[in-house]
Amino acid sequence: MSMISREMAWRVFAREFNDSDLMIEGEEERSPSYLITPLGAKVNRVYLVGVLTECENIGTDEEPMWRARVTDPTGTFFVSAGKYQPGVATSLANMEPPLFVAVVGKANTYQPDDDTFLTSIRAEMVKEVTEEQRNIWILEATKSLKNRLEIAIEASKMDEISVEELVDLGFDEKLADGFKKASEHYDPLSFNKYEGMLEDSLRYILPEYESESIGEIDEEQSGEDERDEELEEFIIEIISKIEDEEGLENGVEYDRVRTKIMDEKDITSDKFEEVVNNLRSDGSLYEPVLGNLKVI
């Protein structure tokens, strides 16, 4: 009897994960199922690090079912744990958001109707981590995204996508097969969208990063610049005020905050971006949806 190997845990950003709606079921008993992302990641298990922003027991004390939201620079992962994950449920019960957490779990999907496809992660492990560990994960996820973008760009040059040709070009066979399946299911890729995700994620931890393409990733972070604490406090105050006055649950649009701050403070757009990046890096701000800023 052959043993089933343990699936690798993918480092994949929330936006790509949540864009996915292709599930490939295992063909044999106990063989794994995969969620295929638009860039070809064949995801069975996920490893993610982000900010735990919400956590609640939607079950009972006797049979708890914990549901949590964990954000990264691109969006939100929905994480769950129930009676079959008692250790995870206990960990979530003792956590007080917001805080940085690492999660390992299985890709899970739910399709309530023909037009709705929901993704989530059934947690196998969750633990509190540091901001530095979160930043390391962002860099790892960015490298993984860059690799999938490269295979997508090479495949786009082919009249017909061939797994064999992609492998000959040096790409992993499993990823090549995943991308072929993705290309047959999803609409044509917007490279700009995913290149933007890559660059935005790099700037999240490397504010000095500049690139016009998906070129080489610089792994060296610069030293800490002197923080403008007064401006940081003012930005948080403005966002909180707008959220409270208008009852906004998903934060305030980035451009709206920038315009408001620049109208009231004599600063450049680059200075505003620098301060916001600092606030996001230390966990004071996050993006509940792409392009919005929310105070933690």
Residue found by looking up tokens 């982000």 in the block: 50
The band of 13, judged by pLDDT with boundaries at 50, 70 and 90, is: very high
CA torsion angle 87 90 94 99 (round to 10):
40
Average pLDDT, the chain: 81
Asked if pLDDT for residue 49 goes beyond 60, the answer is yes
In the chain, DSSP finds a helix count (H) and a strand count (E) of 9, 12
Residue pair 40/182 in contact (Cβ under 8 Å)? The answer is yes
- Is 229-295 in the same CATH topology as 9-129? no
**Hey, where are the domains in the chain?**
9-129, 136-205, 229-295
CA torsion angle 73 45 149 292 (round to 10):
-20
Query: Side chain identity at 154, as an amino acid letter?
Result: E
pTM of the model as a whole: 0.67
- In 3D space, the residue among 293, 206, 284 whose CA is nearest the CA of residue 258 turns out to be 293
**For residues 232-252, average pLDDT:** 89
The band of 4, judged by pLDDT with boundaries at 50, 70 and 90, is: very low
Q: 9-10 and 45-57: which strand pairing? A: parallel
Residue found by looking up tokens 């864009």 in the block: 19
Distance (Å, rounded) from C-alpha 183 to C-alpha 154?
Answer: 13
Distances (CA, A) of 204 to 112, 133, 231, 285, 296: 35, 14, 19, 12, 16
Q: Which CATH class is domain 9-129?
A: mainly beta
Distance (Å, rounded) from C-alpha 71 to C-alpha 75?
Answer: 6
Q: Which of 26-30, 52-56, 81-85, 138-142 has the lowest mean pLDDT?
A: 26-30
CATH 3.50.30.30 fits 229-295, yes or no: no
Environment class of residue 88 by beta-carbon count within 10 Å: exposed (0-12), middle (13-18) or buried (19+)? buried
What is the DSSP code string of 185-234? HSPPP-HHHHHHHHHHHHHHH-TT---SSS-PPP-PPPPPPPP-HHHHHH
